Structure 1
Amino acid sequence: MGVTIVSHPLVQHKLTIMRDKDTSTAGFRRLLKEISLLLCYEVTRDLQLTNITIQTPLVEMESPVIEGKKLVFASILRAGNGLLEGMLDLVPAARVAHIGLYRDHDTLQPVEYYFKAPEDIVNRLIIVVDPMLATANSAIVAIQKLKDRGASNIRFLCLLAAPEGIKRFTEAHPDVPVFTAAIDSHLNEKGYIVPGLGDAGDRMYGTK
């Protein structure tokens, strides 16, 4: 399925400001919401359309709408909510799943603490969101949880990715395409993306 880098100038401009360590918590949160709108536009670019009949103020016409069941946005808590909020502004009718995972800082392995998803996800397109694809451990587990519930049409959307994370992710889920604003250099010994932007959750919520 591969990896799509969203290279739109507005995405890259906003990402640069987000990387800056002097960007405030409020500024980071606002930019993450703004960039999520642009990334959502890209990840939904090829949605299928069907025509319906409507009445404009002037005439009756055939006009396109999105075909099929509503989308599901699946947020990997807690940082995923920063992307989720902007995407829901763009697609307010989307269903939402929450997957609670945190990374054990010693083992770098994900620990699950919450999972809640719509019951009828089998035939829906699910877009899983998390700002960082670093070790990919959390993303791999989250998507497996969705597959275990019957999901088969899944896409993964992130702000930044590391080459190591992309390699592990695509080996584990070769059927799930990845959309990201940038692929950075590498992971450091603590599993952080370099040059990166730090911990997205901490920067978004001011917890560090």
Structure 2
Amino acid sequence: MELCVVTHPLVDHKLTVLRNKHTEQPVFRRLVEELVTLLAYEATRGVRITETRIETPVTATTGVKLAQPAPLVVPILRAGLGMLDGMLRLMPTAEVGFLGMIRDEETLQPVTYAERLPKDLSGRQCYVLDPMLATGGSLGGAVQYLVDRGADDITCICLLAAPEGIEKLNRLLADLDVPCTLVVAAVDERLNEHGYIVPGLGDAGDRLYGLAD
């Protein structure tokens, strides 16, 4: 797996505000969108393109367009939804699928509770959105799910990652013959005893949408 940590002053600034526990929910949501757009710029460097002929006001020329089948953006519900607009702002012609996964807080293992994806993903580039790569369970499960349906190139975009999650994702991908890239704003220190990233930013889903009891 290729790891890309995006280093940019604006990324660092926005991430610092996100980490602050006093940042209000509307500001948090907006900053997540803005930060994802910055990360998506790096994450889409390998997006597939084809040549196309166009007419400018002056003459004919050759340019490029996104190749078919269109890239598929897959936010992991629910927190990944907060990243979707930021991704689509940069790549509005992408298609969107949804995958609902939740972490069992006792076993820390992923549980799939919903999906809305094409049955056949053969030849598709997929971009998975999940704010936090903590234990690696949810993101790893999502990658496996997409590979099982035929996806042949996967890029995961996360705001933060823990070393433990990166290690687990690497172990999973070692058994899969599919190229995968992980794009993050930062790799944090560790996980605590509850499986939360330290220093982290708390529960991204709760900070985006409120508590889910």
Aligned amino acid, residue 21 of structure 2? K
TM-score scaled by length of structure 1: 0.95
Q: Which residue, out of 196, 199, 207, partners 1:195?
A: 199
**How does 1:118-129 map onto structure 2 within 5 Å?**
118-129=118-129
Compare 83-92 and 44-53 and name the one that shifted more. 44-53
Question: How many angstroms does 1:67 deviate by?
Answer: 3.0
Alignment match, 1:141? 141
Query: CA offset at residue 29 of structure 1?
Result: 0.2
Q: Residues 82-126 of structure 1: CA distance to partner in whole angstroms, max 9, x if unpaired? A: 111211122111111111011111121112110111244211100
Which residue does the alignment assign to 1:21?
21
Give the fraction of aligned pairs with identical amino acids, expressed as a percent: 48
Question: Which whole-Å CA distance do the structure 1 matches of 2:69 and 2:17 have between them?
Answer: 36
> Which residue matches 1:56?
56
SS of 1:167's partner is helix
Q: Residues of 2 paired with 1:147 and 1:67: CA distance?
A: 20
Over 3 Å off, 4+ runs: none
Shift of 1:2: 2.3
Once the two structures are TM-superposed, the CA of residue 56 in structure 1 deviates from its matched residue by 1.3
**Unpaired runs of at least 5, structure 2:** none
The alignment partner of 2:122 has SS state of coil
Q: Which AA in structure 2 matches 1:188? A: N
The Cα of 1:207 is off from its aligned counterpart by 2.1
Q: Report the 3-state secondary structure (helix = DSSP H, G, I; strand = E; otherwise coil) of the residue aligned with 2:118.
A: coil
The aligned amino acid for 1:61 is T
Structure 2 partner of 1:33: 33
Deviates more, 1:179-188 or 1:147-156: 147-156
What is the number of equivalent residue pairs in this alignment? 208
Residue in 2 aligned with 1:90?
A: 90
Q: What secondary structure is seen at the aligned counterpart in 2 of 1:107? A: coil
State the distance in 2 between where 1:47 and 1:130 align: 19
State the alpha-carbon separation in 1 of the partners of residues 165 and 195 from structure 2. Answer: 10
Q: Is the 8 A contact 2:120 2:149 kept in 1?
A: no
Give 1:198 shift.
0.1
CA RMSD after TM alignment: 1.4
Structure 1 equivalent of residue 184 of structure 2:
180
**Residue in 2 that maps onto 1:72:** 72
Task: Report the Cα distance in structure 2 between the residues aligned to 1:41 and 1:77, rounded to whole angstroms.
Answer: 22
After superposition, give the CA deviation of every residue in 1:10-35 in whole Å (9 maximum; x if it has no partner).
11110010000000000000000001
Distance in 2 between the 1:203 and 1:145 partners?
A: 27
Query: Which region of structure 1 is more displaced relative to structure 2, 194-203 or 42-51?
Result: 42-51
